Amino acid sequence: MSGGQGGDGATGEAAREEATGETAREEATGDDAGVAAAGDDVPVDDFHETDARPPTVAVVASLAAAGVAATAALVASPVGGALLGAAALAFLGGSLRNSTRVLTWGAAVGVVGLAVAGYRGAPAEALLVAVVGLTVAWNVADHGVGLGEQVGRGARVRRNVAVHGGASLLVGAVAAGLVYGVSLAVGGGQPVAALALLLAGGIALISALR
Amino acid sequence: MSDSRGDGIAAGAASTDGDSTEGKSADPTEGKSGNSTETESADAPTDREHRREVATDRWVGIAGAALALVGLGVLVRQPSLVLAGAVGVGYGVYARTGEAPTPTLAVTRSVSDESPAPGDEVRVTVRAENVGGTALPDLRLVDGVPPGLAVVDGPARVATALRPGTAVTFEYAVRAARGDHDWEPLTAITRDAAGARERTSALDAPTAIACTPELSAGGDLPLRGLTTLHHGRVPTDVGGAGVEFHATREYRRGDPLKRIDWNRRARTGELSTVELREERSATVVLLVDSRDSAYVAADPDAETAVEASVAAAGQAFSALLDGGDRVGIAALSPLDCWLPPGSGTVHAARGRETLATDPALAPTPSDDRFYRSLWLRRFRRRLPADAQVLFFTPLVDDTAATLARRIDAHGHLVTVLSPDPTTSETVGQRLATFERRQRLRTLRSAGIRAVEWGDDSFPVAVAAATRRWSR
Amino acid sequence: MLAVAVGLLAALDRGVASVISPASVVVTLLGVLGVVQGVRYANARRDRKRLPTDPGEPERRAPAAVPGAELDDRIARVASPAPGGYRDRRDLRDRTREVAVAAVARDRNCSRGAAATAVDDGTWTTDPVAAAFFHKRAGYPLRVRLSAALRGRSNYWYGVRAAIDEIERIEEGEP
């Protein structure tokens, strides 16, 4: 039901969504008229397959979040920011190609970007924004690909994407606020001991979770 | 955390009305955004059948990535990396806490027209209300459109989130096609908020439409040539339907309008019916091949040969009835379908109904197995001794040709009327085309008349064939 | 995995002690371990095959079969030079032969027996590939064998195509 294959930037995508939204409706009414006039036997072009590309709203939201992450990382380290920018491009590419694999690679590049930015001494605030932004960006893009497969691009999905993206943003904000608060609270004490304890706790937790 | 999407959370997590997302621009689907409307209705939940529940594996590896960041942070003595990693651990926990909710939905489906004409667009509105006690943060609904119908406007799907008591409505349009069409259950896919687990359920909200095509006035179909060749219309001294004037009598209910003596009515005001010299009418059985193998077409999206056969049988049915013949209907199908030969307006209506909605002639094939010899035995037992058979079949396998010859051998005049579903793009398709052509030739050389029609219409093909035969 | 956790906790005990005197070698080791384990765990994603529910395409009308689609499937199965598919090969050859015999009988106005002989001994056609398809002994021309070997196809695949082409020529040649 929608227009041509998307191949370029996010704003183009958004603009196209709006454009096709309008034209699709007009075409539909045109169809009706055609049917009425043409009578029974003429097969008017039937709906053939669902457009399985991810919904535009998910792609745009993902890019916005990735953009925030890249900007935050850029503050501390150009290389880290560039890697997060590459992650954003991978999210776009993975969305356009319906490939969760590409999205995963994008996320991996983004994590490396975070590591580089952190290694270069990025302030905790910037890094926390970047990590939440990266996770939300990947999450929404991956969610979008899944939505594309199951309900397609033509269906109404905005509320679904908003709830999903909003929930993951909320979780990230709470987690970041929590660890930031803890780090402030123990900040005056023994940083190395605190870190080692955190890590040990983390390894134990993750081993238990697996 | 002060990006522009702070409002997004609030809207996403808490608001009830609709599609407010990242404030990019005006929502083009504003008019449709009655996405969820709060209602008080206490509908009973729709019967639910569990299909599958799986982990989506979306978040696999997030904890590992988080751990690596923390480890690196410790290694290089950068607390900020450890904090970033800790947030990742938070997401890992988030991904593990959810459980795909069980959808307790009250589903109603309404159609704009329950008995549309073929080709009509029927609007279908589906409304699903969350009547359970749990919120559904991620709900995807895919409607079970009947396999014989094509959706012509919009996907029959929606994705949304429903708090208890809220509902979602979506709409689409199907193009009506001949037959009884029953909706299949609505598929509901629910995920937890993180999208880590997924549950698929089927919700059965029975809906049906029946599309019964009008029988076309078959006057222009030159079938008399087909049926009179062997059983010539013998003029009799019995008054009734025919061509030649016999007598007039008092009008009786049910007499065809065209046999009312309108001149006399104008003169005297009395209704009287013209009796025509009755000809011996032929008894014809229209046999439609609707085995699984007959649901073929030159293109996967084109009308099947069964549709073409049924449409042609409809034309033949009314043409023969108009001509005064007694006509019956049978299907070469695993399902039983038999309308004994008859005539009159009631019979015409029954014939129309049979052709439109008999399960044996359904728009999609039956799953049952077809037993040839059983079928033939039953068919022969029912077939009146003097009946001729018009056999509508695409002739894509040898069984159809064999049956035509067997019925012919039992002394019934068989005429094979074959819609051509073949195409010749690939090697296999060309081989199938040659084989079908060969079957037609073999039938003809065995003295069975066969008419095929493809791009030209059925009446044109029959006209050409009858000209050929009468030469 | 639990063993790892226990080991780490043990390491932590000693680590806590050594941390206070900042002999941070243990901390560094802990960090390395964290990175290695983390990357290992993250790698688990690589061989996960995700299988979300596929709701199919109910919007589309149930697609009709195209006559010959099943034959094409069989031809695709015997297109590779690997041995096997004997039944498919024989069935396809029999059905093609049936059509070829009928076409030749009609074209030459001869009996079916004579046509069958012509098809079997290869005199029904001037195309050596089509001839070889039905012939008991004559092999395929070298050109076809080479091409088949290069393109990873079976000779049979070339044969059936050539035979169908030839039958079409005969059919088209009819008035």
CATH number at residue B172: 2.60.40.10
Is A2 within a domain?
A: no
b vs e for C81-103, b when ≥16 Cβ sit within 10 Å of the residue's Cβ?
A: eeeebeebbeebbebbbbbbbbb
Q: Which of A55, A149, A134 is nearest to A99 (CA)?
A: A149
**Residue B258 and residue B304 share a domain:** no
> How high does pLDDT run on average in chain A?
75
Best C66, C94, C167 residue to mutate vs chain B (most B CBs within 10 Å): C66
Rounded to a whole number of angstroms, the distance between the first and last alpha carbons of chain B is 90
Is residue C67 less than 8 Å (CB to CB) from chain B? yes
β-pairing verdict for B272-279 and B136-144: unpaired
Q: Which of B165, B195, B211 represents a domain boundary (last residue)?
A: B211
Is C147 within a domain?
A: yes
Residues of A with CB below 8 A from B11's CB? 162, 166
pLDDT in tens, B156-202: 999 999 999 999 999 999 999 999 999 999 999 999 999 999 999 99
Is A160 within a domain?
A: yes
Is B228 within a domain?
A: no
A100–C55 C-beta distance less than 8 A: no
Is B110 within a domain?
A: yes
Helices B398-409, B427-445: axis angle to 10 degrees equals 10
Residue of A nearest to C50 (CA): A100
Residues C72 and C155: their CA atoms lie apart, in Å, by 16
Q: What is the pLDDT of residue A187?
A: 61
Residue type, B28: P
**Residue C83 and residue C12 share a domain:** no
- What is the domain extent for residue B314? 283-470
- A 159-178 residues with CB < 8 A to B: 159-178
Looking at per-residue pLDDT, the higher value among B165 and C15 belongs to: B165
Mean pLDDT, rounded, for B93-120: 90
Residues of A with CB below 8 A from C42's CB? 108
**Residue C81 and residue C15 share a domain:** no
Is A51 within a domain?
A: no
Looking at per-residue pLDDT, the higher value among B364 and A36 belongs to: B364
- What is the domain extent for residue C18? 2-35
- What is the domain extent for residue A74? 56-185
Is residue A98 less than 8 Å (CB to CB) from chain B? no
**Residue B287 and residue B275 share a domain:** no
Is residue B144 less than 8 Å (CB to CB) from chain C? yes
Is C57 within a domain?
A: no
Is A208 within a domain?
A: no
**Residue B449 and residue B304 share a domain:** yes
**Residue B402 and residue B288 share a domain:** yes
Is C143 within a domain?
A: yes
**Residue B342 and residue B455 share a domain:** yes
Residue of B nearest to A181 (CA): B83
Domain count, chain A: 1
b vs e for B348-362, b when ≥16 Cβ sit within 10 Å of the residue's Cβ?
A: beebbebbbbbebbb
**Residue C145 and residue C94 share a domain:** yes
**Residue B206 and residue B256 share a domain:** no
**Residue C148 and residue C85 share a domain:** yes
Helix (H, G, I), strand (E, B) or coil at C132: helix
SS (H, E, C) chain B: CCCCCHHHHHHHHHCCCCCCCCCCCCCCCHHHCCCEEECCCCCCCCCEEEEEEEECCCCCCHHHHHHHHHHHHHHCCCHHHHHHHHHHHHHHHHHHHCCCCCCCEEEEEEECCCCCCCCCEEEEEEEEEECCCCCEEEEEEEEECCCCCEEEECCCEEEEEECCCEEEEEEEEEECCCEEEECEEEEEEEECCCCCEEEEEEECCCCEEEECCCCCCHHHCCCHHHHHCCCCCCEEEEEEEEEEEEEEEECCCCCCHHHECHHHHHHHCCCEEEEEEEECCCEEEEEEECCHHHCECCCCCCCCHHHHHHHHHHHHHHHHHHCCCEEEEEEECCCCCEEEEECCHHHHHHHHHHHHHCHHHCCCCCCCCCCHHHHHHHHHHHCCCCCEEEEECCCCCHHHHHHHHHHHHCCCCEEEEEECCCCCCCHHHHHHHHHHHHHHHHHHHCCCEEEEECCCCHHHHHHHHHHHHHC
Torsion of the alpha carbons at B390, B392, B396 and B399, rounded to the nearest 10: -50
User: Has this prediction a pTM greater than 0.95?
Assistant: no
Is C64 within a domain?
A: no
Is B34 within a domain?
A: no
C171–B60 C-beta distance less than 8 A: no
**Residue B274 and residue B293 share a domain:** no
A104–C45 C-beta distance less than 8 A: yes
β-pairing verdict for B166-175 and B179-182: unpaired
Q: What is the pLDDT of residue A7?
A: 36
Q: What is the pLDDT of residue C118?
A: 87
Q: What is the pLDDT of residue A198?
A: 62
Q: What is the pLDDT of residue C1?
A: 46
Q: What is the pLDDT of residue A192?
A: 57
**Residue C168 and residue C102 share a domain:** yes
**Residue C73 and residue C31 share a domain:** no
Is C49 within a domain?
A: no
Long-range contacts of A85-88 (CB under 8 A, 24+ apart): A86/A113, A87/A113, A87/A134, A87/A137, A87/A138, A88/A63, A88/A137
> How high does pLDDT run on average in chain C?
79
pLDDT in tens, B406-444: 999 988 889 999 999 988 888 889 999 999 999 999 999
**Residue C88 and residue C27 share a domain:** no
A73 to A69, A88, A90, A183, B446: CA distances (angstroms)? 6, 13, 17, 20, 85
Residues A18 and A11: their CA atoms lie apart, in Å, by 11
Q: What is the pLDDT of residue B124?
A: 94
Residues of B with CB below 8 A from A46's CB? 150-152, 175, 301
Looking at per-residue pLDDT, the higher value among C111 and B272 belongs to: C111
Q: Which of B211, B244, B261 represents a domain boundary (last residue)?
A: B211
Q: What is the ipTM of this complex?
A: 0.76
Q: Is the pLDDT of residue B257 over 60?
A: yes
Is A34 within a domain?
A: no
Q: Is the pLDDT of residue A111 over 90?
A: yes
Q: Which of B229, B274, B230 is nearest to B251 (CA)?
A: B274
**Residue B161 and residue B241 share a domain:** no
Question: For residues B105 and B163, is the Cβ–Cβ distance under 8 A?
Answer: no
**Residue C73 and residue C12 share a domain:** no
Grade residue A75 by pLDDT with cuts at 50, 70 and 90.
Answer: confident
**Residue B465 and residue B373 share a domain:** yes
B7 CB contacts (<8 Å, ≥6 apart)? B23
Q: Is the pLDDT of residue C49 over 50?
A: yes
Give the distance from residue A6's alpha carbon to the nearest chain B alpha carbon, in angstroms.
18
**Residue C168 and residue C87 share a domain:** yes
Is residue C103 less than 8 Å (CB to CB) from chain B? yes
**Residue B305 and residue B270 share a domain:** no
**Residue C90 and residue C144 share a domain:** yes
Q: What percent of chain B has pLDDT over 90?
A: 44
Cβ atoms within 10 Å, residue C61: 27
Domain count, chain B: 3
Residue type, A57: V
- B 285-314 residues with CB < 8 A to C: 293, 295-304
Q: Which of B415, B418, B393 is nearest to B466 (CA)?
A: B415
Is C115 within a domain?
A: yes
**Residue C22 and residue C82 share a domain:** no
Give the distance from residue A92's alpha carbon to the nearest chain B alpha carbon, in angstroms.
17
pLDDT in tens, C114-127: 888 888 888 888 88
**Residue B159 and residue B263 share a domain:** no
Domain count, chain C: 2
SS (H, E, C) chain A: CCCCCCCCCHHHHHHHHHHHHHHHHHHHHHHHHHHHHHCCCCCCCCCCCCCCCCCHHHHHHHHHHHHHHHHHHHHHCHHHHHHHHHHHHHHHHHHHCCCHHHHHHHHHHHHHHHHHHHHCCCCHHHHHHHHHHHHHHHHHHHHHHHHHHHCCCCCECHHHHHHHHHHHHHHHHHHHHHHHHHHHHHCCCCHHHHHHHHHHHHHHHHHHHC
pLDDT in tens, C129-139: 888 888 877 77
Is C46 within a domain?
A: no
Is B60 within a domain?
A: no
Q: What is the pLDDT of residue B279?
A: 55
Is C10 within a domain?
A: yes
> Which of A32-46, A84-98, B244-258 shows the lowest per-residue confidence on average (mean pLDDT)?
A32-46
Residues B102 and B89: their CA atoms lie apart, in Å, by 27
Give the distance from residue A153's alpha carbon to the nearest chain C alpha carbon, in angstroms.
14
Question: For residues B200 and B53, is the Cβ–Cβ distance under 8 A?
Answer: yes
SS (H, E, C) C42-110: HHCCCCCCCCCCCCCCCCCCCCCECCCHHHHHHHHHCCCCCCCCHHHHHHHHHHHHHHHHHHHHHHHCC
Q: What percent of chain C has pLDDT over 70?
A: 85
Is B246 within a domain?
A: yes
**Residue C157 and residue C80 share a domain:** yes
Is B64 within a domain?
A: no
Q: Is the pLDDT of residue B211 over 60?
A: yes
Q: Is the pLDDT of residue B342 over 50?
A: yes
Residues B255 and B271: their CA atoms lie apart, in Å, by 11
**Residue B261 and residue B366 share a domain:** no
Is A8 within a domain?
A: no
